[in-house]
Structure 1
Amino acid sequence: MTKLRPIALRCEHHAAPMGLNRPAPRFDWALEGGGHNRCQSAFRLVVGAGETVLWDSGKVRSSRTRQIEYAGDVLASDMQCAWTVMVWNEEDAASDWADAQHFRTGLMQPEDWQAQWIARYFVLPAGREAPADNTYDNRWQARPADHLRRDFATAERPVRATAYVSALGLYELYLNGERVDDAVMAPGWTDYHQRVEYQSYDVTDMVVAGANTIGALVGEGWYSGRVGHNQRRAGNHYGGRPALLCQLHLEYADGRIETIVSDKQWTTSQGPVCYSDFLMGEQYDARLEMPGWTEPGFDASRWQPVEVFAPDPRPPHLEASRAPQVRETVRFEGRYLRQAKTGGHIYDFGQNIAGYVALELSGKAGDRFTLRHGEVLDGEGELYVANLRHAVATDHYIAKGEGREHFKPRFTFHGFRYAELTLPDGSSPDDVTLTGIAIHNDLPRTASMRTGLDMVNQLLSNIEWSQRDNFISVPTDCPQRDERYGWSADAQVFWKTAGYVMDVSAFLEKWFEDIAEAQLPDGAFTDVAPSKPLNPYRITAQPGAPGWGDAPVILAWQHWLRYGDRALVEKHYDRLVAWLKHIADANPDHLRINAVYNNYGDWLSVGPASDRTMVATAYWVLVADLMAKLSGVAGRADMVAHYKAQAKAVRAAFIAAFVDDDGRITGDTQTAYLLALDFAILPADLHRKAAAHLLRKLDEAEGHLQTGFLGVKHLCPVLSDIGSPQRAYDLLLNETYPSWGFSIAQGATTIWERWDGWTRENGFQSANMNSFNHYAYGAVGEWLYARVAGIDWDEDAPGFSSIRMRPLFDKRLGWIEAHYDAPTGRIESAWRIAGEIVTWDIRIPPNCAARIELPRAPLSIHAGEAALPLTGATTTLGSGRYTLTIPI
């Protein structure tokens, strides 16, 4: 039997975290190894710093591979550590040591920080003009980016150098003329009045003996720039100007540590970034460039001193960044289409993305190149921008006239597939090259799926790209218009899908901090997080609607099932309790009539509207059920019975108020039956009757869906569970309006916000709310991975130590190939239909088992060359590769 091999080592959900927020970090790994029924019987984990062993677990008899908590010497701040693990297999044979991974502890205590917040004195920039296309009139206030620098000298080259950096706003850090890191939109969006994340960078190879210069470019970003759609106060939500915090640790061979910090010794100026704003765009005047400003020897005699200040109302708490940073990920060549009626030139990048356009051009000094961005073209082939609302989404580049020039924005991004380039007189499209650059949090890709149908493959791509485009610091609703909020219902309906496409463990940990900080004193979670920009004139944030405020409970439960991470549940458990109390106190009769502030119902549904109180009460059943389960996870046995009793009472109230003896539910909508069925609200007899009503509603809609944001994720799973998987496939493969296939038939490369974002009969939906890049309706992705591919979590064994495999076969799809890199290792599933036989190949990682549930008993099961005994349509298989043949 071959040895097992530990792979995919993770510390705090990262391969190599740069900064910790826990004094005792957690370690995870997966396993590889040939053969069948492989398992780990023991492990040994070692953590060290240099030549010093900080913790040696010794041989621990355990099959655990996740959330192993550090139990060694106390970790100090500013430490570089390494760790590795070895395992023993089922025959007690030891593996080799895994390749060591590293982590840095960061600055874990407030007193570790010596740096001060610094910023440019607040003065209106002289000689700056508002852009010609300004739609804000006298409200225009986008600021130039600030350059900050400091020279310092070292007697010798340090053996280790680490930069700890953050900003109120956005920053780029430079050292001796080089960018320190390729992250963009750093440090990310938080409630800056409460918490700011910092990043840690290893800059050892960038510091030299002698003269050095550290510099930073700082922009407004979410801190003082425009965020959201409240145009009376679109910016300055947290403060009026960006600021920098920087601390550079230099460690020398003799152990001495020197610290360079942001303080009064820095100077500041403004340069070519005339303004850069998320909604306005960026204007860059290359004639104002200052060559060498981040290098020693630069003449900064005309730069002004910085101001050292304390952010109002109090300095935010500093924490290490939890999620991978936003980075440039994919590039798309711009394809020239035509000259627009405006005189500009329209380019197609082939994919709707969030990001910006890089220009390569030649021009005379003072030539202006203008880029407008849009998701779609109108009926005449012109750039459609009405749906951007107040987002100007326009970048300007003013040439310096020195050969071939390059430009890409620093502190803005747009949602677009198309761009319109307006050229200066004398220039032609032949003189310019356009490249679209997609940005998002650079989360590890964890799954892939291909099928025998191009339409379904495009749907999978659209789901992935909507996720990419909206995972920018927080999970936003859309990346293009004047909104871009972290709407919680959009996220919760999509989160199971999101977890297949990418590793969202660290991303959710970060966003859960935003959610927690936004929670109101009465226990109400908010509709969005961070919450401040949504309604800046309210004394408190906007309390969450049913399905929206419920999201943290749902997200915590799904995080537990996917990653087996108890810590997030334990940390936020009391906040979840406060939310359920908030609901119960407002609704003593167990009908969720009082939603305090708002109730969106099944948002943006088509067809008959669902009763909002019914939807709200159904969600109360769900979250009460989940809280009973989460109470068990958190070790709060005293609360399990409480929430079971609450769920029972709300179920009874729901049935009494909304369900008749025939199983018909108030409103008689698809969503009404979907929620009642999927949330297990009804007793068996009413469950059967409600299922029949759901099929009737589909028939009445001529086989089309009629759901909104809350109903959509339940469609295909419920139809599969009630014994109608063919109806689920009918919905998946439908290409007429309304359906997923309809938007694809119109050329969509992302998921639309509305089923009727555009139709032949009515053209574009209202420009007031019509995004072509919203992931909520992409929630069908969970059914594709969990039921079509058959790779699903098992509630009885969280973290994919057990895999529930219930594939649904359909001749119309022909074949599928899928894999998912679970926390426990790679799971594979591929099936192909030939005649009346399905051949299904699966791979189960070591230390795992699979619960196989098939529509009918297989004809054969092979583990390599060996045939296994048949046990019916349901069986359990250990790790390894298997081939099953199944009759259609």
Structure 2
Amino acid sequence: MSGLSALDLRVEHLAEPRGLNTATPRFSWALASERMGAHQTAWRIRVFEVTLGGETLLWDSGRVASPQSQHVPYAGPPLPRDAVLTWQLSVWDETGALSDARPPAPIFTGLRQEDWAGQWIARYFVLPAGREVPADTIYDNRWQARPADYVRRSFAVADRPVRALLYISALGLYEPWLNGQRVGEDVLAPGWTDYHTRVEYQVHDVTDHVVAGENVIGAILGEGWYSGRVGHNQRRAGNHYGGRPALICALHLHHADGRVEIIASDDQWQTRQGPICYSDFLMGEMYDARLALEGWSERPGRLEGWQPVECFVPDPRPPLLEAARAQPVREIARLEARFLRYSASGAALFDLGQNIAGYCALTVFAPAGARFVLRHGEILDGAGELYVANLRHAVATDIFIAAGQGEERFCPRFTFHGFRYVELTLPDGLSPEDVRLSGIAISTATPQTGTLSFGHEMLDRLVSNINWSQRDNFIAVPTDCPQRDERYGWTADAQVFWKTAGYFADCSAFLAKWMLDIADGQSPEGAFPDVAPTKPLNPYRLTPQPGAPGWGDAPIILAWEHWLRHADRELVEAYYPAFERWMAHIGAPNPDFLRRNAVYNNYGDWLSVGPASDRTLVATAYWYRIAHLMEKLANVLGRMSDAARYRQLANAIGDAFRREFLGSDGRLLGDTQTAYLLALDFGLLSGPDRDRAADRLVALITAADGHLQTGFLGVRHLCPVLSGIGRDDLAIDLVLKDSYPSWGFSIGHGATTIWERWDGWTPERGFQSANMNSFNHYAYGSVGEWLWSRLAGIDATEAAPGYRVIALSPWFEPRIGQCEARYRSTRGLVESRWQCGAEGTVSWSVLLPPGTEGQVSLPPNFRLADSAAAMPERLVSGRHEFQLVPR
């Protein structure tokens, strides 16, 4: 057998796609081997349908002589719907040897829109005459947050099916149950979309849940993003998309004789409210265990006290039902809470040790009616009390009322909070020792791809903070923060962070889903939204204005970053027409090529410290950037006339930029760090102008006592630009600095995630304005890309995207001492490890996956220890070890 092996098998970016939205899904895989020069010379894909009799071959590609391992399209007969498939991969190496066999990987083909048998069902707004609501139905209008709805249906099957597939989705949130068992591990399903346009469904294999005879299927429904609170518009804090959650599902029972029996959501279902008195993202959840509906999901027949459901057509139109494109939200970590002390109110204060997004699990022994109140906060104030002013209108409080039936466990279903600290109000007679409390972190389950560590405690904490902020904010969409009354998918925050995000996790499926959200929010005039998902068909947008510079530009930047990392032409092609509409929308009101006339807002370099950058300069620089990227994306698609047109546009914008903003003394208007960073990184200056701008940037940093003075848009470019002008030393000074403002400042004051503001808290002024002060916000974590690409020295290349050729340009820094980076690229594992030794020597180890090359660029002050040898400019795949000495 070959030393070459395939791993990380993917179909449409997913290890186990549960439903397909294309008739020609694409197959991808990575490769592993430490043998020098190993590479794939051929592949073979076989796709089978899993049937009662075993497996039926649908497509056999045969042996295809090709090194391709990414985005191989299915080329067999039409795929069956409502089916379970497996695919098997074989690869051959450069010696002709066949790889070890890989276990079959599953594919659920799912349903198309016309295949759906279910109807949308929900609790009646007003029951028909003669049908009364049960007297114990719960309404709690303290914050107009609604109780959760329970829905169920009993059904009988004569014989146990050979396969049972549950297709399910909701307007709002759902948790599915079948015969007394919860189905799956997803939380906050089906996620957030523009529910007026499309809703994603999930597929669960429930074959082991269904029995011959009587069965009961059910679900619990929460409001979530659909009808609950999200955002800070308190006038319409809830009901953004509709007024009540609803369910749609279809249970497909495949029998041995070939019959497919479907149990769908229809008027045979019943509904009522139960122990979840209310559940809301911002308000929290209240659960009264005394009202538990015992056996609700396993007692056959129609139950007394339950009312009929209403079947209805959603307004303003039925949404498209499409298979989930990204991984589900899941529980990803559990942290045990440590009791600190009693607060001034007498409540018990607990610390998780880490700021997370999620909820608490509480285990208690308590009498019936005992009330437990959990308040959540990210930080403590100067008196050591829970600080919640920055949550604004988010109450972030969960309440559990015990039933008095032995050990009881409470864990919210349909809310989440951003928190590190928990204030638990206990019933009289109980102490912290009488309860068990832990925090459960949740996140979209994007596969973790990168680990990065240094010989420097503060840098390791910074890496951890970036990674935690990413996971805490990647919940169905990339949000700005998980704690206050906002939690929007702000586009600029994501675009500055996306390169960093791609090192820590495989975000390809996550982006495939979110790009569709952004496109769904594009206005008829061509403006992309500042946040996505949004509501383009409704006058009450989630934000008042679309398409700010840097925000509306995000889709083009995201597509380019995706292309560099994954070489995925299909995503570029799918959204290119939307990009063109955006470019036309910018260009029409700005014939002089200065971006100052438009209908949208302009946030500038948001939340910068120090002098403010001119907003028209920032906007025009971004216009130049996306025009330049449109030229590159047009080249990707082979649209050469478009590429020439966008190149001409970029040149015109660049000329206008220099005429308007560049003075005869070489200074830019406003004379800010961000102005020079954007001009230098985007390529707006060349020759002597570039040299003078670089010198001025260094002078501004020096004048600020070696500190940064950037906001969201500027910070991403800070360290890369300094490295690009040969000032790695200054970049490292900035990253290692621990005085305000810096990353080290927040870490020195206990941060376990990235702060939204450099001055979120300072000893001199205390907390920044509670109107906007998150302590878990990934935007300033965009420095992570520099830690990976420069300190570790791992990066993609434009000439050979998708990590076919890997840029290796590490910076060996004695103050840091060592670096160990492991990144699972789409082509396989990339490693870069270096350690500083005595007298300035460095040991450097590199691993490149099969079929790739490394493009080496060492710091100019190092050479190989063997003075007779020259460092190769290109490395073949495999393991390489180097001993380096100062020149």
The TM-score normalised by the length of structure 1 is: 0.97
CA–CA distance in structure 1, aligned partners of residues 589 and 86 of structure 2: 51
1:787-866 matches, within 5 Å, as 787-835=790-838, 836-856=840-860, 859-860=863-864
Cα displacement string for residues 561-581 of structure 1 (whole angstroms, at most 9, x for unaligned residues)? 111111111011100111111
Partner of 1:777: 780
CA–CA distance in structure 2, aligned partners of residues 81 and 333 of structure 1: 40
Deviation at 1:632, TM superposition (A): 1.3
- What is the aligned residue count? 875
- CA-based RMSD of the aligned residues comes to 1.8
CA–CA distance in structure 2, aligned partners of residues 723 and 362 of structure 1: 63
Partner of 1:8: 8
Deviation at 1:128, TM superposition (A): 7.5
1:393-412 matches, within 5 Å, as 393-412=396-415
CA–CA distance in structure 1, aligned partners of residues 560 and 695 of structure 2: 30
1:399 is aligned with what amino acid?
Answer: A
2:271 is aligned with what amino acid?
Answer: T
Contact 1:358/1:434 (8 A) holds in 2:
yes
Partner of 2:431: 428
2:318 is aligned with what amino acid?
Answer: P
Is 1:502 paired with 2:500? no
Cα displacement string for residues 338-366 of structure 1 (whole angstroms, at most 9, x for unaligned residues)? 11112211110100000001111121111
Is 1:360 paired with 2:363? yes
Deviation at 1:95, TM superposition (A): 2.1
CA–CA distance in structure 2, aligned partners of residues 754 and 115 of structure 1: 47
Is 1:288 paired with 2:274? no
SS of the residue corresponding to residue 611 of structure 2 reads: coil
Change (3 A) 1:535 1:155: closer
CA–CA distance in structure 2, aligned partners of residues 883 and 582 of structure 1: 52
2:842 is aligned with what amino acid?
Answer: V
Partner of 1:690: 693
CA–CA distance in structure 2, aligned partners of residues 749 and 131 of structure 1: 36
Contact 2:196/2:535 (8 A) holds in 1:
no
CA–CA distance in structure 2, aligned partners of residues 539 and 244 of structure 1: 24
Deviation at 1:541, TM superposition (A): 6.0
Deviation at 1:57, TM superposition (A): 1.2
Change (3 A) 1:515 1:533: closer
Change (3 A) 1:298 1:332: farther
CA–CA distance in structure 1, aligned partners of residues 265 and 499 of structure 2: 42
Cα displacement string for residues 578-608 of structure 1 (whole angstroms, at most 9, x for unaligned residues)? 1111111121100001242210000000000
1:455-474 matches, within 5 Å, as 455-474=458-477
Which of 287, 304, 311 is equivalent to 1:301?
304
1:61 is aligned with what amino acid?
Answer: A
CA–CA distance in structure 1, aligned partners of residues 689 and 576 of structure 2: 34
Partner of 2:130: none
Is 1:114 paired with 2:117? yes
Deviation at 1:536, TM superposition (A): 5.6
CA–CA distance in structure 1, aligned partners of residues 305 and 719 of structure 2: 66
Which of 68, 85, 88 is equivalent to 1:84?
88
Which of 304, 320, 328 is equivalent to 1:325?
328
Cα displacement string for residues 70-111 of structure 1 (whole angstroms, at most 9, x for unaligned residues)? 01010121111111111121222222332211101100x221
Partner of 1:636: 639
Which of 709, 725, 731 is equivalent to 2:712?
709
Partner of 1:569: 572
Change (3 A) 1:534 1:702: farther
Gaps of 5+ in 1: 135-139, 862-866
Cα displacement string for residues 764-796 of structure 1 (whole angstroms, at most 9, x for unaligned residues)? 000000000000000000000111001100111
CA–CA distance in structure 1, aligned partners of residues 539 and 559 of structure 2: 28
2:108 is aligned with what amino acid?
Answer: R
CA–CA distance in structure 2, aligned partners of residues 796 and 67 of structure 1: 18
Contact 2:140/2:147 (8 A) holds in 1:
no
Is 1:275 paired with 2:273? no
CA–CA distance in structure 2, aligned partners of residues 460 and 533 of structure 1: 37
CA–CA distance in structure 2, aligned partners of residues 586 and 793 of structure 1: 36
Which of 179, 183, 190 is equivalent to 1:180?
183
Partner of 1:885: 883
SS of the residue corresponding to residue 64 of structure 2 reads: coil
1:352 is aligned with what amino acid?
Answer: N
2:78 is aligned with what amino acid?
Answer: V
Contact 1:228/1:534 (8 A) holds in 2:
no
Cα displacement string for residues 306-360 of structure 1 (whole angstroms, at most 9, x for unaligned residues)? 1000000111000001111001110111111111112211110100000001111
Partner of 1:864: none
1:620-699 matches, within 5 Å, as 620-699=623-702
- More deviation in 70-79 or 630-639? 630-639
Partner of 1:24: 24
Deviation at 1:48, TM superposition (A): 1.4
Partner of 1:46: 46
Which of 381, 392, 395 is equivalent to 1:378?
381
Partner of 2:753: 750
1:36-435 matches, within 5 Å, as 36-50=36-50, 51-107=55-111, 109-123=112-126, 134=142, 140-297=143-300, 300-435=303-438
Deviation at 1:688, TM superposition (A): 0.7
CA–CA distance in structure 2, aligned partners of residues 719 and 878 of structure 1: 30
Deviation at 1:663, TM superposition (A): 2.1
1:64 is aligned with what amino acid?
Answer: Q
SS of the residue corresponding to residue 718 of structure 1 reads: helix
CA–CA distance in structure 2, aligned partners of residues 221 and 536 of structure 1: 21
SS of the residue corresponding to residue 813 of structure 2 reads: coil
Contact 1:520/1:541 (8 A) holds in 2:
no
Cα displacement string for residues 192-213 of structure 1 (whole angstroms, at most 9, x for unaligned residues)? 0000000000001111111111
Contact 1:494/1:779 (8 A) holds in 2:
yes
Contact 1:859/1:884 (8 A) holds in 2:
no
Change (3 A) 1:26 1:496: same
SS of the residue corresponding to residue 586 of structure 1 reads: coil
SS of the residue corresponding to residue 851 of structure 2 reads: coil
Contact 2:139/2:277 (8 A) holds in 1:
no
Change (3 A) 1:341 1:176: same
Change (3 A) 1:433 1:3: closer
Deviation at 1:367, TM superposition (A): 1.3
Change (3 A) 1:426 1:705: same
Contact 2:137/2:272 (8 A) holds in 1:
no
Change (3 A) 1:868 1:41: farther
Deviation at 1:856, TM superposition (A): 3.0
Contact 2:227/2:243 (8 A) holds in 1:
yes
Contact 2:34/2:847 (8 A) holds in 1:
no
SS of the residue corresponding to residue 499 of structure 1 reads: helix
Change (3 A) 1:21 1:549: same
Contact 2:569/2:636 (8 A) holds in 1:
yes
Q: Segments of 4+ in structure 1 off by > 6 A?
A: 124-132
Deviation at 1:298, TM superposition (A): 6.8
1:603-622 matches, within 5 Å, as 603-622=606-625
Contact 1:857/1:886 (8 A) holds in 2:
no
CA–CA distance in structure 1, aligned partners of residues 776 and 683 of structure 2: 32
**Identical residues among aligned pairs (%):** 61
SS of the residue corresponding to residue 672 of structure 1 reads: helix
1:516-555 matches, within 5 Å, as 516-532=519-535, 537=540, 542-555=545-558
CA–CA distance in structure 2, aligned partners of residues 534 and 358 of structure 1: 39
Contact 1:233/1:536 (8 A) holds in 2:
no
Partner of 1:763: 766
Gaps of 5+ in 2: 128-132
CA–CA distance in structure 2, aligned partners of residues 413 and 567 of structure 1: 35
2:191 is aligned with what amino acid?
Answer: G
Contact 1:535/1:542 (8 A) holds in 2:
no
Change (3 A) 1:805 1:559: same
CA–CA distance in structure 2, aligned partners of residues 350 and 706 of structure 1: 30
SS of the residue corresponding to residue 602 of structure 1 reads: coil
Partner of 2:741: 738
Change (3 A) 1:268 1:131: closer
